[in-house]
Chains A and B, each alone.
With several copies, the nearest count.
Chain A
Amino acid sequence: MSDESRAERESRKTRTGSDGQERPVSDEIETDSDIETAIRENEPALITYITAGDPSLEDTKEYVEALDRGGSDLIELGLPFSEPIAEGPTIQAAINRALDAGTTPEGFFDLVDDLETEAPLLVMTYYNMILQYGDEADVRPFVERAAEAGLSGLIIPDLPAEEADPLREACDEHGLDLVFIVAPTTEGERLETIMSQVSGFAYVQARLGTTGARANVSGATHDSLTRLSEYDVPKAVGFGVSEGDHAAEIIEAGADGVIVGSALVDIIADSEETTEGVDRLEAKAAELKRGARRGAGEAVDAEDVPEPEQP
């Protein structure tokens, strides 16, 4: 992100939800990023992921709304790509189901057009999907359409900072965040560079490897959060987070948010009917949000299902 565009964006003082409505930004948060705002205002934030089109775009719409109701502060929607090299078996399978169901970028955008969630939406996909949208290998048509659909940002797991210039420029132009991932191996000068370019939040990869629900929180998470503590940007931790207790531990370790994907995709895969999935997703989001708040030291009644509130 160029300094110029950052300056430009900081001059704005409202944020836009996926419903397209502008919301005022509170005075203490000096950002024009919907995403950063959503995290800062809802700290500890819950960021949820599901794959669009798994098992159909109609179902996805209901599932996203359930996650929104359950307490998600940001929602990542996966746009399926045939070669998901950063994903573990759970999300790979979801992507295959979505592709088998005929999910296309156009269908994806139509879905986003239809969605009205309180939580801002991001698209998570691979770089080739961005490039191929439109007639030639060019990132701009995709970003333009994403902005038009009301998306707030992009996460591209196979796009490191070194290759991100064209996409970042397009995102800047359309006021979208391009979220960077900070890996356990990201250290020293690299870390400096990436953190200086963070847009929205820093996606802290909890462990080496791929996405996927794990039984515990890795030691690398704590190391990473310590390493990142000096940077004043929102930090959300993903890769392997599946339970409320994980969320609590991660928030307690200093994160501003947790990112959960595979655990939710598992629910979708397990549910025999959409309504069952809807209920379980909403409950799971609530559990996770509760865990996060517990980690932040807030008093949380386990019985009380918290509704996310507008500040």
Chain B
Amino acid sequence: ATFGDYGGQYVPEALMPALQELEDAYERYVLNNEDGFMDEFRERMRDFGGRPTPLQRADRLSERYDREIYLKREDLVHGGAHKLNNALGQVLLAKYMGKERIIAETGAGQHGTATAMAAAHLDMPCEIYMGRTDINRQRPNVYRMRMNGAAVNPVTAGSGTLKEAINETMRDWATTVETTHYVIGSVVGPHPFPKMVRDFQAVISQEAREQIQDQAGRLPDTVVACAGGGSNTMGTFHEFVPDEDVDLVAVEAGGSSLEIDEEANLAPNSATLSTGTDGVLHGAMTKLLQSGDGQIVESHSVSAGLDYAGVGPELSHLVATDRVTPVSVDDDAALNGFHRLSNLEGIIPALESSHAIGYVEKYTDDLGDLVVVNVSGRGDKDLETVLEETEKRDLEAAPDVEVFEQ
């Protein structure tokens, strides 16, 4: 397998030649900068994507938690999240490979919008698969993709969410593989996707590692990132992996409970690294939320972007080898994290990133003196959800908004 016991290429035979072609392209263009691929990628991420993103000292969080807290500001990337790092890399790679068409899955719509933006920017026809349920609850993202000229294909199978969208995109790919590149949205899927996506996202930790040394004079004690599929996680951790004194903490969505309800075929969480078991999903051996029989269960998190029953195989490996510490915080803690960062720092984080902040708030004592937290995206997309979910709860950090309920 690719990463210790994890990874691999568990896909239909029809896709294997495409994976080999992709592996070849990955080695030539990404690893060896053939035809100046990586130069062009970096230039476009600078001019189009807005990189580098700042590493900001969070003055008020630092004061509150009595340690130095730095925020890696991926929320400032074009499109509002780290997602573009990968989407632009893959669409550009597809162009170098001579592909004529891009497909991608999307859950909440973040990866879909990033891919649609990248495809518009690079003039590639693009189709996005999205579950019907997700379409209905994430309409603004659907519109953004349409505005960028991408087709959005509703997937009605199953619960109509991310898992089904991935299945359907794989089916499209199995049909059109000769002319089409599938832009997978996280460090998941068959080899070489987990490595390639990680390498595109590793710019986060490349920048952060330099920035923290410039600004704080040393490497951090703790690096914290939320983990769903794991692309911002691996991006944030990658360059720090060899730094053995740096704790790497992956914060998963604890949802409402860490138990799996096999009867209902539901895990009311997405804490795959913390509670999952080994298995194969979407092309890779990794940790999964599954029933004893091997059926994949529906995951759940208040954050749509973490709501996935699998996780990147490299993360499974890094957890298995004790290099990464998996932790989880529940929906309440994430919502508190959302409000805390919004209120104290003037940064409205994505609900995904709010899990990382929620962890810092809740388990402050587990942190070292110098902490880097990845703010993987901005939270504008989550306002409605946060309002609804906040109303149901009694949250310490939430503001009162009832004056506007007329």
Residues of A within 8 A of B (CB): 81-89, 92, 96, 99, 104-105, 126-129, 131-133, 137, 157-163, 180-187, 190, 194, 205, 208-210
B residues less than 8 Å from A190 (CB atoms): 16-17, 20
Say whether B177 faces chain A, with CB atoms less than 8 Å apart. Answer: yes
Q: Chain B CB within 10 Å — which of A84, A129, A159, A162 has the most?
A: A162
A residues less than 8 Å from B277 (CB atoms): 137
Q: State whether B12 touches A181 (Cβ < 8 A).
A: yes
Partner of B12, one of A137, A160, A162, A187: A160
10 A-B pairs with least C-beta separation: A132-B294, A209-B175, A183-B14, A137-B278, A82-B295, A85-B170, A128-B280, A185-B17, A181-B13, A183-B13
B residues contacting the other copy or chain, number (CB 8 A): 38
Q: State whether A183 touches B12 (Cβ < 8 A).
A: yes
Partner of B281, one of A128, A182, A187, A194: A128
B254 CB to closest chain A CB (Å) equals 23
A262 CB to closest chain B CB (Å) equals 14
Interface of B (DSSP majority class) = mixed
The interface bits of chain B over 266-283 (1 if a CB of A lies within 8 angstroms of the residue's CB, else 0) are 000000000001111111
A residues less than 8 Å from B290 (CB atoms): 128, 132
Q: State whether A132 touches B171 (Cβ < 8 A).
A: no
Q: In whole angstroms, what is the CA distance A180 to B11 when docked?
A: 12
A residues less than 8 Å from B8 (CB atoms): 162-163
**Given A85-B167, A185-B178, do A131 and B279 touch, yes or no (CB 8 Å)?**
yes
A residues less than 8 Å from B295 (CB atoms): 81-82, 99
Q: A133-B294, A183-B13, A208-B174 are in contact. List 12 more A-B contacts (CB 8 A).
A: A85-B170, A85-B282, A99-B295, A128-B294, A132-B279, A132-B294, A183-B14, A185-B14, A185-B17, A185-B18, A208-B14, A209-B171
Q: In whole angstroms, what is the CA distance A254 to B18 when docked?
A: 27
Residues of B within 8 A of A (CB): 8-18, 20, 157-158, 163, 167, 170-171, 174-178, 265, 277-283, 288, 290, 292-296
How many A-B contacts are there with CB distance less than 8 Å? 122
Q: In whole angstroms, what is the CA distance A181 to B174 when docked?
A: 13
Q: In whole angstroms, what is the CA distance A241 to B281 when docked?
A: 28
**Given A82-B296, A208-B174, do A158 and B12 touch, yes or no (CB 8 Å)?**
yes
**Given A183-B13, A185-B14, do A132 and B293 touch, yes or no (CB 8 Å)?**
yes
Q: Chain A CB within 10 Å — which of B8, B16, B280, B294 has the most?
A: B294
Q: In whole angstroms, what is the CA distance A132 to B279 when docked?
A: 7
Q: In whole angstroms, what is the CA distance A92 to B171 when docked?
A: 12
Partner of A185, one of B9, B167, B177, B280: B177
Q: State whether B13 touches A205 (Cβ < 8 A).
A: yes
Q: In whole angstroms, what is the CA distance A185 to B176 when docked?
A: 11
A186 CB to closest chain B CB (Å) equals 6
17 contacts between A and B (CB under 8 A): A81-B295, A85-B167, A85-B170, A85-B174, A86-B171, A86-B174, A88-B171, A127-B280, A129-B293, A131-B294, A132-B290, A158-B10, A160-B9, A185-B13, A185-B178, A194-B13, A208-B177
Q: State whether A131 touches B14 (Cβ < 8 A).
A: no
Q: State whether A157 touches B17 (Cβ < 8 A).
A: no
Q: In whole angstroms, what is the CA distance A92 to B163 when docked?
A: 14
B190 CB to closest chain A CB (Å) equals 9
B residues less than 8 Å from A185 (CB atoms): 13-18, 177-178
Q: State whether A158 touches B167 (Cβ < 8 A).
A: no
Closest A residue to B178 by beta carbon equals A185
A residues less than 8 Å from B157 (CB atoms): 89, 92, 96
Q: In whole angstroms, what is the CA distance A181 to B176 when docked?
A: 18
A residues less than 8 Å from B163 (CB atoms): 83
Partner of B11, one of A99, A160, A186: A160
Q: In whole angstroms, what is the CA distance A230 to B226 when docked?
A: 54
Q: State whether A157 touches B9 (Cβ < 8 A).
A: no
Closest A residue to B169 by beta carbon equals A85
Q: State whether B293 touches A186 (Cβ < 8 A).
A: no
Q: Chain B CB within 10 Å — which of A86, A89, A105, A187 has the most?
A: A86
A residues less than 8 Å from B280 (CB atoms): 126-128, 131, 158
B residues less than 8 Å from A104 (CB atoms): 293
Q: State whether A187 touches B9 (Cβ < 8 A).
A: no
**Given A83-B163, A132-B292, do A127 and B171 touch, yes or no (CB 8 Å)?**
no
B residues less than 8 Å from A183 (CB atoms): 12-14, 16-17
Q: Chain A CB within 10 Å — which of B14, B174, B265 has the most?
A: B14
B residues less than 8 Å from A81 (CB atoms): 294-295
Q: State whether B171 touches A180 (Cβ < 8 A).
A: no
B residues less than 8 Å from A161 (CB atoms): 13
Q: In whole angstroms, what is the CA distance A208 to B174 when docked?
A: 6
B residues less than 8 Å from A209 (CB atoms): 14, 171, 174-175
Q: State whether B293 touches A105 (Cβ < 8 A).
A: yes
Closest A residue to B14 by beta carbon equals A183
**Given A104-B293, A181-B13, do A208 and B175 touch, yes or no (CB 8 Å)?**
yes
**Given A83-B163, A209-B171, A209-B174, do A127 and B12 touch, yes or no (CB 8 Å)?**
no
Q: In whole angstroms, what is the CA distance A131 to B292 when docked?
A: 10
Q: In whole angstroms, what is the CA distance A185 to B17 when docked?
A: 7
Q: State whether B174 touches A210 (Cβ < 8 A).
A: yes
A57 CB to closest chain B CB (Å) equals 15
Q: Chain A CB within 10 Å — which of B17, B171, B282 has the most?
A: B171
Q: State whether B293 touches A210 (Cβ < 8 A).
A: no
B residues less than 8 Å from A86 (CB atoms): 12, 171, 174
Q: State whether B13 touches A210 (Cβ < 8 A).
A: no
B131 CB to closest chain A CB (Å) equals 13
Closest B residue to A89 by beta carbon equals B157
Q: In whole angstroms, what is the CA distance A84 to B12 when docked?
A: 11
Partner of B283, one of A133, A158, A180: A158
Q: State whether A187 touches B283 (Cβ < 8 A).
A: no
Closest B residue to A93 by beta carbon equals B157
A194 CB to closest chain B CB (Å) equals 8
B186 CB to closest chain A CB (Å) equals 16
